[in-house]
Structure formats: C-alpha cells, structure tokens
Amino acid sequence: MKQSYWCYIPIVIILILGFVFGFYLTFGIKFLNTFASLQLEAKNILMLFGMGLFGASTYCAKAWSADIYEVVYEHPNFMPHFLDFIGYITLMIGGGITGVILFFIIKTGMGISATTNGEIQLTVEASVIIAYIGGLYHFKVQSQLGKMIDNMFKNKAEKK
C-alpha cells in the first residue's frame, strides 16, 4: 500500500471532527438544548459519550503529533498509509464508550457504598470530567477493567 504524507489529511479531518462532535454533543446538549426531543437520560448518555469522544480526541492528537515527530525527525521510512485514519476513528468511538462506562462504574460504586437510599446524584461537571478521563485514558481503563474481570472469574474458578 502506498505511503505518503498526504495520508495525514484524513487523520487531521478525523481529529477535527472528533473535537467538533465531542464538543457539540457535550456542550450543545448542556447549553444549546440540542436534541431537545430526547429524554433527559438519553441526553446525559450522549453528553457523556461526547466528552469521552473529546478525551479520546485529545489522546489521538497527542499520539498523532508524536507520530509526525517520529516520521519527520527519526524514522522517515515509517510514513503513514491511507488506512491509518480507521485506527483513529475506532479509538475515538471506543473512548466515548469507555467514558460512559467509566461514569457508570464510578456511579455504581458510589451507590453501593452509600448508606442512604443508594441514589447518587453527581453534578454535571463531575460526570463530564469522569467521561473525559475515560476517553483520555481509554486503554488504561480497558486494561484495569479487564484485570478486574479476570480476577472475578479467577476467584470463582478457585472456589469450585
């Protein structure tokens, strides 16, 4: 497959779209009342997804700048190819999903540890920060969740 600096163009477009959609979903829903016909729960999920997407876009921008530095200054033979942008897209979508999941995990953990009726009300700001962290540290969150699940099944297998 042909490699060229021109293959950075779709990556730049994807990065810009990731920031725009993440910003639009998060701040548009909160302050511009976009998707007004949706129920509050659906709006909150979209807002959290948008912030996770925004966090993953931040991660991708950092990775992209490191990639460019490596190609230009260290290893000019490692030029990008046309399909590189697909990796960026999947990482951003995964970051959005991870942001939502991390929010629910934290909210559930707080609900379990609460001594009241178990209903936890996080502020919008706290929710958005949790989702952003989930998107920004997408791979680390995935890794930790995988370890938790492995330990759960390992303990069940040991008890049998």
Q: Are 88 and 14 in contact (CB under 8 A)?
A: yes
Positive or negative CA dihedral for 122, 123, 128, 130?
A: negative
Asked if the model's pLDDT at residue 60 lies above 90, the reply is yes
Asked if the model's pLDDT at residue 56 lies above 90, the reply is yes
pLDDT at residue 68 in the model: 84
Closest C-alpha among 112, 105, 87 to residue 142: 105
pLDDT at residue 70 in the model: 83
Amino acid at 153: F
Per the prediction, the chain carries an average pLDDT of 86
Is pTM beyond 0.85? Reply is: no
Span 23-28, average pLDDT: 93
What span, in angstroms and rounded, lies between the C-alpha atoms of 88 and 58? 11
Q: Which of 3-12, 13-22, 129-138 is predicted with the least confidence, judged by mean pLDDT?
A: 3-12
Confidence band of 4 (pLDDT split at 50, 70, 90): confident
Catalogue the long-range contacts made by 103-112 (C-beta closer than 8 Å, 24 or more residues apart).
103/48, 103/127, 103/130, 103/131, 103/134, 105/145, 106/130
Q: Percentage of residues in the chain with pLDDT exceeding 90?
A: 43
Query: pLDDT of 125-144, one tens digit each?
Result: 888 999 999 999 989 998 99
pLDDT at residue 111 in the model: 63
Highest-scoring range by mean pLDDT, 6-15, 25-34, 44-53 = 44-53
Phi, psi of 69 (to 5 degrees): -60, -45
User: Coil, helix or strand for 82?
Assistant: coil
What span, in angstroms and rounded, lies between the C-alpha atoms of 160 and 151? 15
